[in-house]
Structures are given as structure tokens and as C-alpha cells.
Amino acid sequence: MSITESHLATRPGLGRVVVASAAGMTLEAYDFLLYGSAAALVFNHLFFPSDDPLVGTMLAFLSYALGFFARPLGGIVFGHFGDRIGRKPLLIVSLLLMGGATVAIGLLPTYAAVGAWAAVLLCTLRLVQGFALGGEWGGAMLLVAERVPGRRRGTWTAIAEAGIPLGNLLATGVLALLAAVQDDATFLAWGWRVPFLLSAVLLVVGFWVRQRVEDAPLFHEARAAAERAEQPRAVPALQVLRRYPRQVLIAAAARLTENITYYVVTAFVIVYVVEHNGGNKALVLSALVVANLVQIAATPLFGALSDRIGRRPVLLIGALGTAAWTFAFFPLLDAGSALLVTVAMVGGLVFHSALYGPQAAFFAEQFDTDVRYSGMSLAAQLPTLIGGSIAPFVATALLALFGSGTAVAVYVAIAAAITTVAVALARETYRRDLAQSTTA
């Protein structure tokens, strides 16, 4: 007997699954995004010293980019085994890898102690972080998406997705607190290590929560059907590329602007305000705390809106809104006041939420259950190679070349145009039953 959407809707334990997904996403976001903030504030001084501050910052952001280059590989590996043996086991592995690497970063010796080996060790741990995160998002979202029908899928997956801004809020909040109570010398000496070591607490909590959930009945039925067929099964990633090339391209393009915007607003903005404008570090971190609080609420709201009017309209709001807002973003930052800097970041993350809120549901609806983990991971992680991986570096280089944020705004707007075209060409999927094949 097949699992219908009405059956999915009545499955118990949905709240626990959402908490498990959000908890893991919070840890992974805290760990991964903490590195971005530290790259702008600390690593350029302690691991990549240079006579030119912007050169040191660009080197730090290159190490930051390494994590993104490892993400597609992580997506392929985790997606392969996640589609074969289950989502839950792979999510526990990704959690342990990410948390362990982050704690290890907090214990690293610096360039002053071991020379270039400090940068080598830092980059190696960054690769581990990226590999782990490459398999996290797709699996965490599927724990939720495969349990709920289309009429509620956007809402519930977006609640779990809010773990990302929550993780960034925690990372930024700890950095802001340390910046407020420590002078720069103390922060550089040891204060920066505290947020990385605190990751151990989130790791224990996330592991405990994820141990208490199971994969959705939809996945178990699909795996049982594959075993009954007794036919050789191709590598899931290859099946995705053969059966769903259009969906992969559309989803990847839809992800592009979301990926670039997030790291411009949350990582590069620190460079722009502190290094370029000579602003206060505590001011920009405090503004990021407010912006992330707003995004925690905005992400589920846009996910719920996509359940009412469709995924495509909400994604288009996000893409077009981002393209327009990015040209107001840098003048607001240039104004220098705490209020206007906060308004700039809040606006950036609100439009980002419109791109991000419906994303998990939209991606899950593009693929069938037997390859859904691999399909979502590939579509989500491939654009990171030209998106979030190099966004802070490209933005810093454009700032160094042109001396203003206008060139960065054009860069973001070009990405938004690509996303707009892709979403306009996509099919609407918000009523799709995930238990049915896309060819049915």
C-alpha cells in the first residue's frame, strides 16, 4: 500500500523532527558562518598576516571559500548513502564532522607560533566543515519535507530552515558580546577562540536530538520497493543528472542569488563597514544580531506564503527585491549611523528570506524519493562554487578595485537576474504529492 499525502499529514512526531532538523542546522550554520565572521575580523591578522589589510582579508576569505568547494563533494557522498541507507545516519555523521572541526579550529596555533602550518591546518579543517555542510542541508530538510503534504510543506520546512539564521545569530551574538567586553588586543589574543570552543555545547545538544528521530515512512517505502525490484541501482547522483537535468539547473540558479546575498550581507559587510568605512566592529555585529532576529521570523512567514500562492511568486519577490535593495544597501552602510546600518542589513536579510523560505520545499518537489537527497544536495551545493564560495572574496576585490559598493551591488544584481529567469521558467510545484513519481 502506498503512502498518501493524507497519511503523511497524520504521522506523529512532526514537531520533534522539525526540532531535530532545526537543531542540526543551527549548529552547522553557527560553525560554518562563524568562520566567515572570524575571517573578516581575526584570521586575516593571525593566520594570513600581510602588510596590506585588504590583501590579508582576501587571503582569509579564500580559505573561507575552501569550505564551499568541498560542499559539492559532501553533497554527492552524503546524498549517495542517504538515498541508499537513510537520511538520519548521514545527518549524525555530518553533525559530528562539523562540530569536531569547529572545536579544533578553536585550538589551533597561529602563524606567530608555527608559521605557514597554521594556515594549512586552518584550511584543512575548513575543508572538513564544507564537506560536512554539503550533506547537511538536503538531509535535514528531507526529514521534514517527506512527512508533510504540499499545502503545509513550505511552512514546516521553513521553520526548520530558520535554524540557519538562528545559528548565525548565536555566532554573531557571541562575537558581538566579546567585542563589547574585550579590547582588540585581548580579542585577538584569545577571545576569538571562545565561540569556536562553545560549538561543543551545540554539538552535544544536536546529537542528542537527532538520535531521537527516524526517517519518514515515505523513504522506507521507496527503499523497500527498490529492494523488491532486485535490479542494479545506478549511482544516485548519476541518476539525477540523467533524469532531472532541467530541475537541477533551475534549482541551482534559484539558489545562486540566495547564496551570494547571504554571504555579502553577513560576512563581507563586516569588511565594508569596519575596514573600508572605518566603522565600529561592535556596531556592525549588533546590527547583524537584529537582522538575524528578523530573519528567524521572516523565513517561516515566506515559507507559509509559498504554501498559499506558490513557490515561484515568492522566489520572484526575493530575487527582484534583492536586485533593487542591493543598490540601497551600500549607501545606507555609508551613512554610518547605527540605525541605517541596521536597516540595510534587515532589508537585505528580509529579501533573502523570500528566496530562502520556500527553497527546501521547492527543491524537494523537483525530485523523486529514490534520488531526492542526491538531487537536493547537488542543486543546492553546485552553485556555491560560483556563489557563496567566492562572494566575499569577489566583493572585497571589487571594493579594492573600484573603491565603493556600487560594483558589488551590480554583481549581486546580475546574480538576481539569473535567478529571476530560472524561476520564471520553472514549473509550479507547491501542490505536488511527494509520494507520486514526477513521471506519473
How high is the pLDDT of residue 435?
Answer: 82
Q: Residue 60 falls within a domain, yes or no? A: yes
pLDDT tens, per residue, the chain with 440 residues: 344 444 444 444 788 888 888 888 888 778 777 887 777 678 877 887 765 566 667 777 777 778 878 888 998 999 888 888 888 888 899 889 988 999 999 999 988 888 888 888 988 998 998 899 888 888 889 889 888 877 899 999 999 999 888 988 888 788 778 877 888 788 888 888 998 998 888 888 888 888 888 887 887 787 777 766 665 567 888 899 999 999 999 999 999 999 999 989 888 888 888 888 888 878 888 898 899 899 999 999 999 999 999 999 999 999 999 999 999 999 999 998 899 999 999 999 999 999 999 999 999 999 998 899 999 999 998 888 888 778 888 898 899 899 889 999 999 999 999 999 999 999 999 988 888 876 65
- Note the pLDDT of residue 52: 58
Question: pLDDT value at position 229?
Answer: 64
Q: What is the pLDDT of residue 51?
A: 53
Cell of 326: 542591493
Joined together, the cell numbers standing for residue 365 give 518537489
Flag whether 333 is in a domain. yes
Give a yes or no: residue 318 inside a domain: yes
Cell 540558479, located at residue: 253
Q: How far out from the chain centre does Cα 67 lie?
A: 12
* CATH at 336: 1.20.1250.20
Report if residue 283 sits inside a domain.
yes
- Measured CA to CA, the distance from residue 83 to residue 109 in angstroms comes to 39
- Number of domain units in the chain: 1
| In-domain check, residue 5 | no
Closest CA to 314 of 428, 433, 168, 438: 428
Is 383 contained in some domain?
A: yes
CA-CA distances (angstroms) from residue 54 to 126, 243, 387, 397?
21, 45, 21, 8
Q: What's the confidence (pLDDT) of residue 14?
A: 80
Give the range of the structural domain holding residue 42, as residue numbers without chain letter: 11-225+234-425
Residue 435, in any domain of the structure:
no
pLDDT of 425:
95
Is the residue at 436 inside a domain? Answer: no
